Chains A and B, each alone.
Chain A
């Protein structure tokens, strides 16, 4: 059996239980009070009647004492008159001394038979053979002079009925009050917790879309909580925008750093055609050059310039900010572009760069710029890690709705102690000026932003293998 865990159920249980217990105790107190009031009322009334009954008895006794003559059945008649006139039904009447013996003459003592064994002097309410009986007792006397006691037995069935009715009424009232309070408690708990639930759902579905709907606010505690939540969400949104801006700046910085590192290769790409241009111009300047040869040199110059233009175009293409527009982009195109830019570096190290690209690869829906960045960082790292004459294997393939992009090198690998830190920003094992330490960090952020994963494997051979898994855009 589970204990209630929700606020609503706890509120309901606690208030409900408290109410039930309070009502139970209140019912007992009220009933006992009512019962005692009912008994008191009837007792008072009965005692008043009994007192009244003593008056003719005292008068008779006083008359007898001063020599007056009384009818033979004076006392009996007095008591019978009393029994007849009383609104409460009198079941029996005794005129007794303090030992319970009748003070009436034997001949008159026929109102009722007294059983001294069971008869108790005093005021009482008890259940007897004929039902409930209220018995009262009053001294027959004047001042401190007491001649005897008048004992009257009243029918108390009505008192018992009244008490039962009161108890029934209290039971019913308590039940109704409990039901009403439980119903009200449920409504209050529902009202209170509905808004908390709204807040809970909002927190659970927290998104940082700027124009998403804010929680309704009000002046009470929950309303203030909603206000605070909305403000918190706004601050979070602003922070995320700031972080995104910072990341963009970081990515651009890393890209510019990559361009710097490409400078040597670019210079080589430009320098070769320039040498050819200079050589062609020198030959053209010679006078004895035939028109055919001149045209051939001019064509060479034109080709060289086109090569330079192509290299610069690629460099500019890589370095240019292409905005935040998303489109279906090809990881293969990104790899080709980067390989061309890094061709000099690959050649200068005599690295055997093997590409196994899946030409049927579906596109990735993203900013094409980030795929260039991704490929650049991983291939450049592989080249840097490779020794002269090393080997790099670059593959792409489609597997289970994911695009897999692997760069595997047979270089010096990653030291075990560096493994936990390689994705941290500004961590680098390269010489000063040769790395910013942002390459793998930026790569990881790009992959995460695309909803993908990056895996690193350092076995089974020396070197490292980075595998990028990106969700494909299926047309």
Chain B
């Protein structure tokens, strides 16, 4: 009787074996077809407005921090906003002046410097984490660096951001005023195009210290850098339009930014991807907010 059992089993093995053999080619078929989901390009039907950003960061970093802002503006205004970069601070001011761009996030120094020349008008300024329109320039060094005050900078190397930025323009003079250390007392000093590259150079040990804006210092604090001195507060970077900017564009930008409620959960998740300097909301600004900055610049220019 065992034979009949074996017969059935043998039959079963033959059937299953046939199924497996028959499905061999299908089994080894490795075809996949995943349709690439193209991200919808929003606002294609809207008129384009260019948004300039001074070269405070590298182009990639500017796209990372500002493209979400463009998406926000495109979604909340009648216009499609497109980033327009420049390799210098001045270049962005010029673009604003000649009408290439409708609005720009300028540096305070560039704004004060070119306001009259290009008929610029500040409309908004970002708020800091405390809800105020101020920021600080900060002195940074490696965490294990012996530098702990401005006076320690003597015979040390230091790197500043672009001379077209307020920090880069003002801080050399500030060090002399507060610690009596002039540029000639330094072992080495230099300017770097962007705030983030300043931090990178200190972090890599190329320079003993550096000066960056508050947002960048905070960003690098957890990556091996310490803040050893904080400069006095100044008005946050201006959002500027020019005479070429039409009223509708100007108003819609203001409405969109001023409508941001940083307390709302959906807004918090939205702002998470924005440049940190612009992610705590905005308030209206006018030229008088930058008067102190203008005075500082004037003093520096006179001293030089």
Contact in complex: A144, B67 (CB < 8 Å): yes
Q: A66-B55, A142-B64, A144-B71 are in contact. Are A4 and B5 (CB under 8 A)?
A: yes
Asked if B34 is an interface residue, CB under 8 A from chain A, the answer is yes
Contact in complex: B36, A160 (CB < 8 Å): no
Most chain B CB within 10 A, of A3, A122, A159, A167, is at: A122
Residues of B within 8 A of A144 (CB): 39, 67-68, 71
**A186: min CB distance to chain B, Å:** 8
Asked if B33 is an interface residue, CB under 8 A from chain A, the answer is yes
**Secondary structure type dominating chain B contacts:** helix
The complex places the Cα of A4 from the Cα of B36 at a distance, in Å, of 57
Asked if A180 is an interface residue, CB under 8 A from chain B, the answer is no
Those of B1-32 within 8 Å (CB) of chain A: 1-9, 12-13, 16, 19-20, 24, 27-28, 30-32
Those of A112-148 within 8 Å (CB) of chain B: 120-127, 132, 137, 139, 141-146
Contact in complex: A62, B34 (CB < 8 Å): no
Asked if B63 is an interface residue, CB under 8 A from chain A, the answer is yes
Residues of A within 8 A of B16 (CB): 20-21, 24
The complex places the Cα of A163 from the Cα of B30 at a distance, in Å, of 8
Asked if A13 is an interface residue, CB under 8 A from chain B, the answer is yes
Residues of B within 8 A of A171 (CB): 20
Most chain B CB within 10 A, of A20, A143, A146, is at: A143
Contact in complex: B87, A67 (CB < 8 Å): yes
Asked if A182 is an interface residue, CB under 8 A from chain B, the answer is yes
Asked if B99 is an interface residue, CB under 8 A from chain A, the answer is no
Name the residue on B nearest A13 (C-beta): B5
Q: Beta-carbon contacts of A438-473 to B below 8 Å, as 1s and 0s?
A: 000000000000000000000000000000000000
Asked if B199 is an interface residue, CB under 8 A from chain A, the answer is no
The complex places the Cα of A8 from the Cα of B9 at a distance, in Å, of 13
The complex places the Cα of A3 from the Cα of B86 at a distance, in Å, of 88
Contact in complex: A66, B8 (CB < 8 Å): no
Residues of B within 8 A of A17 (CB): 8-9, 12
Contact in complex: A126, B33 (CB < 8 Å): yes
Contact in complex: A178, B63 (CB < 8 Å): no
The complex places the Cα of A186 from the Cα of B47 at a distance, in Å, of 82
Residues of B within 8 A of A21 (CB): 12, 16
Contact in complex: A121, B28 (CB < 8 Å): no
Name the residue on A nearest B84 (C-beta): A65
Asked if A291 is an interface residue, CB under 8 A from chain B, the answer is no
> How extensive is the interface on chain B, given as a class?
35 or more
Q: A9-B1, A144-B68 are in contact. Are A122 and B33 (CB under 8 A)?
A: yes
Name the residue on A nearest B86 (C-beta): A66
Residues of B within 8 A of A292 (CB): none
Q: Beta-carbon contacts of A141-166 to B below 8 Å, as 1s and 0s?
A: 11111100100000010011001100
Name the residue on A nearest B34 (C-beta): A123
> How extensive is the interface on chain A, given as a class?
35 or more
Contact in complex: A122, B36 (CB < 8 Å): yes
Q: Which of A68, A98, A124, A163 contacts B38 (CB 8 A)?
A: A98
Contact in complex: A20, B9 (CB < 8 Å): yes
Asked if A362 is an interface residue, CB under 8 A from chain B, the answer is no
Asked if A349 is an interface residue, CB under 8 A from chain B, the answer is no
Those of A4-18 within 8 Å (CB) of chain B: 4-6, 8-10, 12-13, 16-17
Q: A31-B27, A144-B68 are in contact. Are A12 and B6 (CB under 8 A)?
A: yes
Residues of A within 8 A of B91 (CB): 67
Contact in complex: A39, B5 (CB < 8 Å): no
Asked if A1 is an interface residue, CB under 8 A from chain B, the answer is yes
Name the residue on A nearest B33 (C-beta): A124
Q: A12-B6, A143-B273 are in contact. Are A67 and B39 (CB under 8 A)?
A: no
The complex places the Cα of A12 from the Cα of B8 at a distance, in Å, of 10
Asked if B237 is an interface residue, CB under 8 A from chain A, the answer is no
Q: Which of B33, B60, B71 contacts A62 (CB 8 A)?
A: B60
The complex places the Cα of A345 from the Cα of B132 at a distance, in Å, of 149
Contact in complex: A12, B87 (CB < 8 Å): no
Asked if A63 is an interface residue, CB under 8 A from chain B, the answer is yes
Contact in complex: B2, A4 (CB < 8 Å): yes
Q: Which of A9, A43, A137, A141 contacts B5 (CB 8 A)?
A: A9
Q: A66-B87, A142-B67 are in contact. Are A122 and B34 (CB under 8 A)?
A: yes
Q: A65-B59, A66-B85, A142-B60 are in contact. Are A4 and B4 (CB under 8 A)?
A: yes
Asked if B35 is an interface residue, CB under 8 A from chain A, the answer is yes
Q: A9-B2, A144-B39 are in contact. Are A125 and B8 (CB under 8 A)?
A: no
Q: A16-B9, A62-B63, A145-B63 are in contact. Are A137 and B1 (CB under 8 A)?
A: no
List of 4 A-B pairs having minimum Cβ-Cβ separation, nearest first? A9-B5, A142-B63, A62-B59, A143-B67
| Sample of 10 A–B contacts (CB below 8 Å) | A4-B2, A8-B5, A12-B9, A13-B8, A20-B16, A121-B35, A121-B38, A143-B67, A144-B71, A145-B63
Please name 6 further chain A to chain B contacts, defined as beta carbons within 8 Å, in addition to the given A13-B8, A39-B32, A66-B87, sorted by A numbering.
A5-B1, A16-B5, A120-B33, A122-B34, A144-B71, A160-B30
